[in-house]
Amino acid sequence: MAATHYNPLPQPDRIEDPVTYEEAACLFARTEHPAPVSTLRRYVREDGLATERVGPKRVVRVSWSDLLEAHRERTAAKLRASSDWP
Rounded to whole angstroms, the Cα distance separating 76 from 85 reads 9
For the segment 35-47, the average pLDDT, to the nearest whole number, is 96
Closest by CA position to 43, among listed 64, 29, 12, 18? 64
> pTM for the complete prediction?
0.78
Instruction: Give pLDDT tens digits for 51-85.
Output: 999 889 999 999 999 999 999 999 988 888 876 55
Contact 15, 63 (CB under 8 A): yes
